[in-house]
Amino acid sequence: MSDTPDLPPLTPADDAKATDGPQLTGHALIASYVRTLDGSPGVYRMLDAEARVLYVGKARNLKARVSNYARPSGHNGRIARMISETRSMMFLTTRTETEALLLEQNLIKQLKPVYNVLLRDDKSFPNILIAKNHAYPQIRKHRGKRTTKGSYFGPFASGSAVNRTLNQLQKVFLLRSCADSVYNNRSRPCLLYQIKRCSGPCVNLITPEAYGDLVSDAEQFLSGKTSNIQTELAAQMQQASDDMEFERAAALRDRIRALTAVQQSQGINPRGVEEADVVALHLEKGQACVQVFFIRANQSWGNADFYPRTGAGAEEPEILEAFLAQFYDGKPPPRQILLSHPIDNEDLIHELLSARAGRNVALAVPKRGEKAELVENALRNARESLGRKMSESAAQSRLLTGLAEAFGLDDVPQRIEIYDNSHIQGAHSVGAMVVAGPDGWIKNQYRKFNIKTAPGDDFGMMKEVLTRRFERLLKEDPARATPAWPDLLLIDGGAPQVTAVGEVLAELGIDDVPFVGVAKGVERDLGREEFHIPGENPFALKHNDPVLYFIQRLRDEAHRFAIGTHRAARAKATTKTPLDEVPGIGAARKRALLQHFGSAKAVTRAGLSDLMAVDGISQAMAETVYNYFHTGE
């Protein structure tokens, strides 16, 4: 079943309900909608006076579900507030409740309603891939969709966890990690062979059969079948020692040590749980932390913590149910999920996850035994992580309050945008924007700008960046209905940069976004920054003021991001060739041409017949390449 069901569009009648409905509010308004509904499954949306979505919900029976909101009493504080703010509703029927659940989650991710539980961190997790598209399979880290033919093992909690495991696996199984393009162009073994981390298949130092045995051993190990491998390696080491092949025995000893190190680095290794995700939730003072431990092949492959938005006061069953539906959107669920709390619609979530996995996915809340210990361990980690997060949030809140006082702001800023530029004598000029808020850095809101009009001119670059940023913001959100609008701009620079920003905002008619320039001061020393606010004299903060250190961190993050963006642009330019501009020449054809002729310059001089001799270059493409470099001759 697809995660994106083919659903009917919103009907004009439904649209009329949302825009031209009766001028009622709260319970009375909802009761007026109930009379128009039937018992079909579907999705409903509750909107406020400005047509912003407050809540998206699903229902097995729309009429029965919405009727609950029409009751004047019996609601908790969160639901009562939501009902009181509702000014209109929208409805969409579906064929099944599972389709309603899928549509609900898609709308929540798209609209981000304030009363819904929302998983704010939607990152992917890395896997280990043994690619099978080559005679000598490559082992590597993999993220994203599983499009390459091969064996996938994971997920791992972080890239560093994968890298550590791969580092040890190379010592044990000697599988190649180089890309196919590197492998195909080797004439002698690389350094990895010299340090005994590769078996050298690129120069035929191992037979395909022997290499296949190594691949099989690696797959067995990553599947949890380690005892046979260790026994076999130990026997080989003993035999090599008996044959007085001490160098080979020492190499096998090192492989056994590396294998042991991998097993020890996995942390908790449950004997009775082969494959599961342990999902534990701790809720305190309206804030939630969900810890997920990945158990694969009877080994713990790390854990990750998440801090979903609780929808203005949702309770554990609703938070955990929403987390499961959103977390496994695009990630394959394991065979078993161990939960810290029961969820309300377990049968529906079971059906959804089983459909996504293509097999049965069991949900359980263990009460005793090894599984219960795993959940308790995850719950303890969730509790400790939330405590640290709340402590950091309290400190961040104090710093934001101090920032508002230092700059004379009317309100404590909830979104700060910091801007910086980077270039070398005008080359590869880029602008960068980083964003910070009450929860720290908002990295999915970072933006980079390739400078088009004024490379090398710091003031012109700043004007271009701010113009592009706010022109787009005015186009996408003119009513300022989303949190995308900043409460404060920090500009890396002094009075000239501040003047440039003021001109841009004035031209766009924006007069309510405060901005401050952060200059290094007369002596350009860290800790003696001067702050420039339009219409005021430059001033400085005390040398040991925590707010000053906070501003320095904000500026340094913008500088780091700008420098990184500039270096990436510069690195990309170093690999650029004239072939990049030829229509129809992609990475594969470019590689074939360079391998055949040796250089891009030789390609530009090649004749038509020579171009046609290259694998993958047809007569039409050869003519395209030839004509591109010989125009006018």
Over range 541-565, report the average pLDDT. Answer: 91
* Equal fold, 275-387 vs 416-572: yes
Torsion of Cα atoms, 247 then 253 then 257 then 259, to 10° = 100
* Angle between helical axes of 546-574 and 369-407 (0-180°, round to 10): 110
Separation of alpha carbons 608 and 633, rounded Å: 14
Residue 487 reports pLDDT greater than 60: yes
Instruction: Report the percentage of the chain scoring pLDDT > 70.
Output: 91
Listed by start position, the domains of the chain span 12-115, 127-265, 275-387, 416-572, 578-629
Residue 553 reports pLDDT greater than 60: yes
| Residue positions counted in the chain | 633
Residue 629: band (very low, low, confident or very high) from pLDDT cuts 50, 70, 90 = confident
**Helix (H), strand (E), coil (C) string for 556-584:** HHHHHHHHHHHHHHHHHHHCCCHHHHCCC
pLDDT (0 to 100) of residue 6: 46
Both tokens assigned to 30: 């909802």
The mean of the pLDDT values for the chain is: 86
Over range 67-71, report the average pLDDT. Answer: 93
Both tokens assigned to 186: 């080797």
Separation of alpha carbons 599 and 504, rounded Å: 46
| Interval 366-406: pLDDT, tens | 999 999 999 999 999 999 999 988 888 888 999 999 999 99
Look at 70 and 248; give whichever has higher pLDDT. Answer: 70
**Helix (H), strand (E), coil (C) string for 8-59:** CCCCHHHHHHHHCCCCCCHHHHHHHHHCCCCCCCEEEEEECCCCCEEEEEEE
Q: Which residues pair with 295 in a beta bridge?
A: 276, 300
| Interval 43-66: pLDDT, tens | 999 999 888 899 999 999 999 999
Name residues whose C-beta falls within 8 Å of residue 506's C-beta, 6 or more positions apart in sequence. Answer: none
Among the ranges 117-126, 159-168, 315-324, 572-581, which has the highest mean pLDDT value? 315-324
Distances from the Cα of 499 to the Cα of 26, 450, 464, 491, 516, angstroms: 48, 22, 13, 11, 10
Residue 187: band (very low, low, confident or very high) from pLDDT cuts 50, 70, 90 = confident
For the beta carbon of residue 190, count every other beta carbon within 10 angstroms. Answer: 17
Q: Helices (H) and strands (E) in the chain — how many of each?
A: 21, 20
Looking at the structure, give the CATH architecture of the domain made up of residues 275-387. 2-Layer Sandwich (3.30)
**Side chain identity at residue 149, one-letter code:** K
Rg (C-alpha) for the chain, rounded Å, is 30
Residue 451: band (very low, low, confident or very high) from pLDDT cuts 50, 70, 90 = confident
Over range 210-239, report the average pLDDT. Answer: 80
Distances from the Cα of 367 to the Cα of 362, 467, 537, angstroms: 15, 58, 66
pLDDT (0 to 100) of residue 13: 37
Residue 87: band (very low, low, confident or very high) from pLDDT cuts 50, 70, 90 = very high
DSSP type of residue 445: G
Q: Which superfamily does CATH assign the domain made up of 12-115 to?
A: GIY-YIG endonuclease (3.40.1440.10)
The SS3 of residue 338 is strand
Separation of alpha carbons 531 and 494, rounded Å: 7
pLDDT (0 to 100) of residue 369: 92
pLDDT (0 to 100) of residue 213: 86
Q: 403 near 415, Cβ under 8 Å?
A: no
Both tokens assigned to 45: 């949306």
pLDDT (0 to 100) of residue 426: 62
Q: 162 near 198, Cβ under 8 Å?
A: no
| Residue whose entry in the numeric block shows the structure tokens 């080359």 | 427
Residue 20: band (very low, low, confident or very high) from pLDDT cuts 50, 70, 90 = very low
Domain 578-629, CATH: 1.10.150.20
N- to C-terminal Cα separation, the chain = 58
DSSP type of residue 539: B
Is the Cα torsion angle 304, 305, 310, 316 positive or negative in sign?
Answer: positive
Q: 154 near 140, Cβ under 8 Å?
A: no
Both tokens assigned to 335: 């065979």
Residue 626: band (very low, low, confident or very high) from pLDDT cuts 50, 70, 90 = confident
Q: 118 near 309, Cβ under 8 Å?
A: yes
pLDDT (0 to 100) of residue 262: 59
Residue 585 reports pLDDT greater than 70: yes
For the beta carbon of residue 510, count every other beta carbon within 10 angstroms. Answer: 15
Residue 522: band (very low, low, confident or very high) from pLDDT cuts 50, 70, 90 = low
Domain 416-572, CATH: 3.30.420.340
The SS3 of residue 160 is helix
